[in-house]
Amino acid sequence: MSNYLIETNGLIKSFGNFKAVNGIDLKVPKGEIYGFLGPNGAGKSTTIRMLLGLIKPTQGMVQLFGRPLKSNRLDILKKVGSMVESPSYYGHLSAYENLNITRKILELPKSEVDRVLQVVRLTEVKDKLVKKFSLGMKQRLGIAQALLGNPELLLLDEPTNGLDPSGIHEIRDLIKRLPFETGMTVLVSSHILSEVELIADQVGVIQKGEMIFQGTLQDLRVKGSSTLIIDANPMERALVHIEQMGYTVQVRDGRLYIPEQTVDPAEMNKKLVMNNISVRHLSEHRDTLEEIFLSITREDLKR
């Protein structure tokens, strides 16, 4: 059996002629945090809903815990906590009553409600009606609900939506702790890479319903390019020399840009100086993950 806790094969969902999800092979290893990335409307939520059996795939397979979801839905869902898009809640009930309903469905002891309230720090307002909650509090209640019973798998769709910076930080810390403390596997979706960059081990990037990258963050970094930026005097001779060395050079704002990954900056410096060219500035610019993410999602748009 594979080590993937979530595995989908050729997952497709079409709404009429529109393919919201088009052949996704999602592979989420056990015990890791998986960042599910993509711009808004790329198909993240539709995919997550198919993982929960809320939406039936038009084609393809969903396997959770190594078993097909279709025939084991109830058993599988007992081990899954989730929050899909905006948190759902019963506004006319208090936070405690809301969690108590989920607790009863999952047949957990009462102490679980108090525990998760503590985790998301809502204990003090547990008797307040949820319709009077701020968006951030509702979001935290949604996460508390997902954490009830310490599920083995946690699916969080845009969990930091609508939170203030300190709230985002808090949720991020919480998610990061989970695999260490409980061995939980977490899938977090987001349209902002920096949100998952700090916590995810693996990422999947989807665009227009298709997976355009899946792997570790390290693998994603490699996809980025680095550019050597040189300011030298005299510029013309430097340009000629570098071109003779076989590199393509662009001149912009009085600087030379070498968009090449294999240049050794020290070697380049040495060669220029030995040819009596004074080097005033030499730096290497690497694409940040955000730039890589933007460039691969943009590339795909052009197709």
Partner 1 sequence: MIKALHIEFLKIKRSKLLILATFLPLFAALQGGLFAVDMKGKEEDLWHFVYLGAMTQFSWFIFPLLITIILSIIARIEHHHDGWKQLFSLPVERENVYFSKLLIGFALIIYSVIVYTVGLIIAGISVGADSSIPYDMIVQRPFLVIVASLPIIAIQFYVSMRFSHVGVPLMVGIGLALPSMLIANSAKYWIYYPWTYPITSALTDTFGPLGKAEIMYTVCGLSFVVITAIGLIQFRTKDII
Q: Which of 202, 191, 176, 12 is nearest to 85 (CA)?
A: 191
For the chain, the straight-line distance linking the first and the last C-alpha, in angstroms and rounded, comes to 37
Task: List the one residue from 3, 41, 59, 75 that touches partner 1 (CB under 8 A).
Answer: 75
Instruction: Give me the 81-120 binding string for partner 1, x by CB under 8 A, dash otherwise.
Output: -xxxxxxxxxxxx---x--xxx-xxx--------------
Residue 228 Cβ, how far from partner 1 at the closest point, in Å?
Answer: 49
Nearer to partner 1, 104 or 298 (CB): 104
- Would you give the DSSP letter of residue 287? P
Q: 126 to 185, contacts with partner 1 by CB under 8 A?
A: 145
Q: Contact between 70 and partner 1 (CB under 8 A)?
A: no
Return the number of the residue (88 or 261) whose C-beta is nearest partner 1: 88
Q: What is the footprint of partner 1 within residues 16-55 (CB under 8 A)? A: 49, 52-55
CA torsion through residues 115, 118, 120, 122, sign? positive
- CA distances to 6, 181, 256 from 69, rounded to whole Å, are 10, 27, 56
- Per-residue DSSP letters for 239-263? HHHHHHTT---EEETTEEEE--SS-
Q: Least distance (Å) from partner 1 to the CB of residue 160?
A: 18
Q: Which positions from 270 through 289 interact with partner 1, judged by CB under 8 A?
A: none
- Which residues, numbered 218-277, are part of the site for partner 1 (CB under 8 A)? none
Token pair belonging to 238: 């430097």
The residue among 1 and 74 lying less far from partner 1, judged by its C-beta, is 74
Nearer to partner 1, 146 or 196 (CB): 146
The whole-angstrom distance between residue 213's C-alpha and the CA centroid of its chain comes to 11
Give the closest residue to 110 by CA, choosing from 151, 154, 148, 143. Answer: 148
User: Which amino acid does the sequence have at 263?
Assistant: V
Residue positions counted in the chain: 303
Q: Closest approach of Cβ 144 to partner 1, in Å?
A: 12
Contact positions vs partner 1 (CB under 8 A): 49, 52-56, 73-75, 77-78, 80, 82-93, 97, 100-102, 104-106, 145
